[in-house]
């Protein structure tokens, strides 16, 4: 991706090197909300339900490596590109796009959705309109999930921004309102459609950055590989040796690739109605 020299977003909150203090309390709904929207199948024990936030933090003198600081700059540029694309797309629909913030953290972080550890993976919290990313995840994306490349990392950011778009459109709230009325198995089917729509929106973003000549040869393949790498079936097969379709919450590798690529091809909002699609 041709990103160097491009505008960086001013909506980045760097909390690296800070250790949040956690005040426990609240209900299980907080945990459910986070589990429904984090990017990868992380460890649920890394998220503690809580409803009270505290601004009290222990600040350390954090010095990132040159590689990490360049990565922080990269995700800031990607966020800026999502701002430009979604501002224009919302304008065409007669709506206003409200920018999310991107929180960079190391180790653990406090959000309006709860407390999360790095094992959670990147996630979006609709409670505060923020994306949360521990930059060490991108090393895991390359080594554990075999999905290298800068556009694979851009896909991660664009997917989480896709959840923000769903929040602004009211889709997130509608899906989460079903949680208390459905069995876990039935609710998971809606979560899959929610995640696949976020993949579609990531593809829509990629469509426009390609038109702006920011996409290099092999970039889209990197994103497709990343989408495939984080499919429920592939993750379950690699971690436990077998697949349990009823427990899927994000979609299979093929489904994730399909919806990202569909968004990339079409480049509009109308083609991303995963909730009424007969076949995913």
Tens-place pLDDT, residues 130-168 = 999 999 999 999 999 999 999 999 999 999 999 999 999
Q: Is the pTM of this model over 0.85?
A: yes
Q: Which of 246, 138, 256, 236 is nearest to 194 (CA)?
A: 256
Q: CA neighbours within 13 Å on the CB side: how many for 9?
A: 24
Cα separation, 109 vs 19, whole angstroms: 7
CB 86 within 8 A of CB 20: no
Cα separation, 210 vs 232, whole angstroms: 28
Amino acid 118: pLDDT: 80
Name, in order, each residue with C-beta under 8 angstroms of 150's C-beta and a sequence gap of 6 or more: 1, 3, 74, 219, 222
Looking at every residue in the chain, the average pLDDT score rounds to: 86
Mean pLDDT within 22-34: 41
Tokens standing for residue 213 = 């000549």
Q: Phi/psi at 244 (nearest 5 deg)?
A: -120, 90
Residue 52 DSSP symbol? B
Name, in order, each residue with C-beta under 8 angstroms of 103's C-beta and a sequence gap of 6 or more: 12, 13, 15, 109, 111, 130, 131, 132, 133
User: What's the pLDDT tens digit per position in 221-258?
Assistant: 999 999 999 998 899 988 899 899 888 999 999 999 99
Cα separation, 25 vs 51, whole angstroms: 6
Lowest-pLDDT range of 20-24, 39-43, 88-92, 259-263: 39-43
């Amino acid at each position: 991706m041709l990103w160097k020299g491009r505008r960086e977003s001013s909506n980045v909150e760097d909390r690296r090197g800070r250790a949040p203090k956690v005040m426990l309390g609240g209900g299980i709904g907080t945990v459910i909300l986070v589990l429904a929207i984090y990017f990868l199948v992380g460890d649920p024990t890394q998220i503690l339900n809580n409803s009270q936030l505290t601004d009290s933090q222990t600040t350390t003198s954090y010095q990132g490596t040159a590689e990490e600081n360049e990565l922080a700059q990269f995700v800031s540029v990607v966020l800026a590109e999502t701002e430009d694309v979604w501002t224009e797309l919302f304008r065409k629909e007669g709506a206003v796009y409200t920018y999310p913030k991107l929180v960079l953290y190391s180790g653990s972080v406090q959000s309006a959705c709860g407390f999360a550890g790095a094992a959670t993976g990147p996630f979006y919290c609709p409670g505060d309109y923020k994306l949360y990313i521990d930059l060490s995840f991108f090393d895991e994306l390359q080594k554990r999930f075999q999905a290298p490349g800068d556009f694979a990392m851009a896909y991660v950011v664009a997917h989480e921004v896709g959840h923000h778009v769903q929040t602004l459109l009211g889709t997130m709230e509608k899906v989460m309102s079903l949680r208390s009325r459905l069995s876990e198995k039935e609710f998971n089917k809606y979560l899959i459609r929610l995640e696949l729509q976020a993949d579609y929106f990531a593809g829509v973003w990629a469509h426009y950055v390609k038109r702006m000549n920011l996409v290099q040869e092999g970039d889209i393949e990197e994103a497709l590989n990343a989408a495939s790498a984080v499919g429920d079936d592939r993750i379950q097969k690699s971690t436990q040796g077998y697949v349990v379709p009823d427990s899927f919450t994000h979609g299979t590798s093929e489904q994730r690739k399909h919806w990202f690529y569909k968004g990339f091809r079409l480049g509009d909002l109308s083609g991303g109605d995963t909730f009424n699609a007969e076949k995913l």
